[in-house]
């Protein structure tokens, strides 16, 4: 018997290591807009929405700079083919095992819809019943908490049977704000000590061990 019937996943830093491509494309955007290399891009920024990543790199960026960099990044990243992105070891197998066990799987990611679906297609991940991105609702941009709330309502999910799995503090906090359980992926881009300090319901050191956390018991 499953501990959780509905499992919500973050993407970057939880299922896939996408940092190499995101960092390369951010640097490409800075070169395109400013004609110079970007300041150092830390992996712990990956997983935030792009505006937060850019401001994390250079807090002095103006709204106009953010707009130009965003457009440049999208043009580069969405068409790059994601040569450096890899699924974490055991990710595909863990998702398949959960699906076979009868769990309902959903994706809730800060990555926009277009590159998210391109990545899922590249890796053959067709296990998710619903994919929710910041731009899933035309005309607005949702936070992680709003995305989870939208999914809960859209699919009429029972909160006590639902868990969010992510590698960032925002994933844990967004789950809490929506009244669902949270599992912290300590192997991702987030700070493991900060994640533990939030007292998630469970912690995960490798995605290959996921099935044992959410099934049985």
* pLDDT reported for residue 216: 57
Question: In the chain, what percentage of residues exceed pLDDT 70?
Answer: 98
Alpha helices in the chain (DSSP H): 19-34, 50-57, 63-77, 91-100, 113-123, 144-154, 169-177, 192-197, 210-214
pTM of the model: 0.92
- Parallel, antiparallel or unpaired: strands 181-185 and 162-166: parallel
pLDDT tens track for 131-155:
999 999 999 999 999 999 999 999 9
Is 1 within a domain? Answer: no
**One domain, residues 127 and 156:** yes
Q: Helices 63-77 and 19-34 sit at what angle, rounded to 10 degrees?
A: 120
Whole-number Å distance between alpha carbons of 147 and 130: 11
Tokens matching residue 59: 């807090």
- Going by pLDDT thresholds of 50, 70 and 90, the confidence category of residue 44 is confident
Instruction: Look at residue 112 and give its three-state secondary structure.
Output: coil
Q: Whole domain around residue 120: which residue ranges?
A: 6-17+86-214
Q: How far from each other are the two terminal CA atoms of the chain, in whole angstroms?
A: 8
Q: Are residues 26 and 108 in the same domain?
A: no
Are 35 and 108 within one domain?
Answer: no
In a shared domain, residues 132 and 205: yes
One domain for residues 148 and 200: yes
pLDDT category at 188 given cuts 50, 70, 90 is very high
Helix (H, G, I), strand (E, B) or coil at 217: coil
CA distance linking residue 162 with residue 196, whole number of Å? 20
Given 33, 57, 77, the domain boundary residue is: 77
Beta-bridge partner residues of 87: 16
- The distance from CA 26 to its chain's CA centroid, rounded to whole angstroms, is 17
């Amino acid at each position: 018997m499953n501990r959780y019937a509905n499992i919500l996943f973050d993407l970057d830093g939880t299922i896939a290591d996408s940092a190499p491509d995101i960092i390369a494309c951010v640097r490409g955007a800075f070169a395109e807009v400013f004609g110079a290399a970007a300041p150092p891009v830390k992996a712990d920024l990956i997983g935030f929405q792009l505006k937060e990543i850019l401001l994390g790199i250079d807090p002095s960026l103006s709204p106009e700079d953010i707009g130009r960099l965003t457009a440049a990044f999208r043009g580069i990243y969405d068409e790059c083919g994601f040569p450096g992105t890899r699924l974490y070891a055991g990710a595909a197998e863990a998702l398949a095992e959960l699906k076979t066990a009868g769990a309902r799987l959903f994706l809730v990611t800060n990555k926009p819809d277009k590159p998210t679906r391109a990545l899922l297609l590249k890796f053959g991940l067709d296990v998710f019943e619903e994919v929710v991105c910041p731009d899933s609702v035309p005309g607005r941009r949702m936070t992680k908490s709003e995305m989870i709330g939208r999914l809960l309502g859209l699919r009429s999910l029972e909160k006590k049977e639902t868990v969010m799995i992510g590698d960032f503090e925002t994933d844990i906090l967004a789950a809490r704000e929506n009244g669902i359980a949270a599992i912290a992926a300590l192997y991702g881009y987030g700070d493991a000590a900060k994640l533990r300090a939030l007292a998630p319901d469970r912690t995960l050191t490798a995605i290959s061990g996921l099935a044992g956390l959410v099934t049985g018991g």
